[in-house]
Amino acid sequence: MKKRKLGNSGLEVSALGFGCMGLSFGFGPATEKQVGIALIRAAVERGVTFFDTAEIYGAYTNEELVGEALEPFRDHVIIATKFGFKIDENGKGAGLDSRPEHIKQVADASLKRLRTDVIDLFYQHRVDPNVPIEDVAGAVKDLIQQGKVKHFGLSEAGVRTIRRAHAVQPVTALQSEYSLWWREPEQEILPTLEELGIGFVPFSPLGKGFLTGKITEETKFDAGDFRNTVPRFNEENRKANQALVDLVGSFAQQKNATPAQIALAWILAQKPWIAPIPGTTKLHRLEENLGATAVELTPDDLHRLNEATATIAVQGARYSEGAQKMIDR
């Protein structure tokens, strides 16, 4: 597995990380614990060193799973987790909370669940409009000085917020959605990250599964799958968006690869400081995703792919209206 450095921070991670959320949360019933542990350890055995979780996933259960799975390999892996939500007694998100005292409480609790004495990368999960970002960055700076955290990250933050945070405590990485069917970060985010020397960690690099070509207008999601609430995944929009999947599939055939591998290879080819974190619950999908690191896209390939996909207007918002309100602009 090739390695990459997230910006100027020196934090080195595998070119492809592993987004662990779906093992516990978001896509229907949680994966059985031992199956999840086995899959995470299989990723380690195949060279993955970068694992992403959050206290809200579950809630709490995903951190516990990741902590147990990675405990034997702790010195060889990078663990990223997140703070920033209130969590009620039922384990559900109950709004945002990035008050400095709350951030420090979350850090202590996450350290225990992750079975570690330091969090490698600690992201603010969503920007809290009620707490100045300078206070958030200052709280994480304190945690770094105390040796509880190594690196500070932001998620779904806008350019102004990134700059303000970075001035207080250098931001190692921004995590936001980015893929062939969500390219908005190219407009302002990527140039800003390059200027400031901040790494980029795209989540949903396979379009929440859509770019794999395995989801059609007939696909029925589990009742607990959050894609049921995403406008982009309603039946009408899936039908309209199939054109993009067909194009990627056609390109994949030419390169003797799968659509998922082309989608991931495209992201990897954008910048050397980008490390996407696709997630899966299946070993064969993990192996397929990792195969993307061996797919070489030439400048001509990228030009043709960009030119072709630019003609396709993706239909539907990427979040429900409620979730969209938590995105910083």
Q: Could you read off the pLDDT tens digit of each residue along the chain, which spans 329 residues?
A: 999 999 999 999 999 999 999 999 988 889 999 999 999 999 999 999 999 999 999 999 999 999 999 999 999 999 999 999 999 988 888 899 999 999 999 999 999 999 999 999 999 999 999 999 999 999 999 999 999 999 999 999 999 999 999 999 999 999 999 999 899 999 999 999 999 999 999 999 999 999 998 988 889 999 888 899 888 899 898 998 999 999 999 999 999 999 999 999 999 999 999 999 999 999 999 999 999 999 999 999 999 999 888 888 888 888 877 787 778 76
* pTM of this structure: 0.96
Q: Which of 57, 123, 178, 319 is flagged as catalytic?
A: 57
- In one-letter notation, the amino acid at residue 4 is R
Structural domain contains residue 257? yes
Mark whether 57 is an active-site residue.
yes
* Number of domains into which the chain is organized: 1
* Predicted local confidence at residue 264, as pLDDT: 98
Dihedral sign, Cα of residue 74, residue 18, residue 107, residue 166: positive
**What gap in Å lies between CA 294 and CA 262, rounded to an integer?**
10
**What gap in Å lies between CA 267 and CA 179, rounded to an integer?**
7
* Predicted local confidence at residue 329, as pLDDT: 65
Alpha-carbon Rg for the chain, nearest whole angstrom, is 19
Structural domain contains residue 329? no
The alpha carbon of 299 is separated from its chain's Cα centroid by a whole number of angstroms, namely: 26
Please report, for the domain that includes residue 290, its CATH number. 3.20.20.100
Residue range of the domain that includes 284? 3-324
* Predicted local confidence at residue 92, as pLDDT: 84
**What gap in Å lies between CA 203 and CA 178, rounded to an integer?**
7
**DSSP designation for 71:** G
Structural domain contains residue 200? yes
Structural domain contains residue 64? yes
Structural domain contains residue 116? yes
Please name which of 78, 312, 328 lies closest in space to residue 180, comparing C-alpha atoms.
312
* Predicted local confidence at residue 273, as pLDDT: 98
Structural domain contains residue 196? yes
Structural domain contains residue 292? yes
* Predicted local confidence at residue 89, as pLDDT: 86
Structural domain contains residue 126? yes
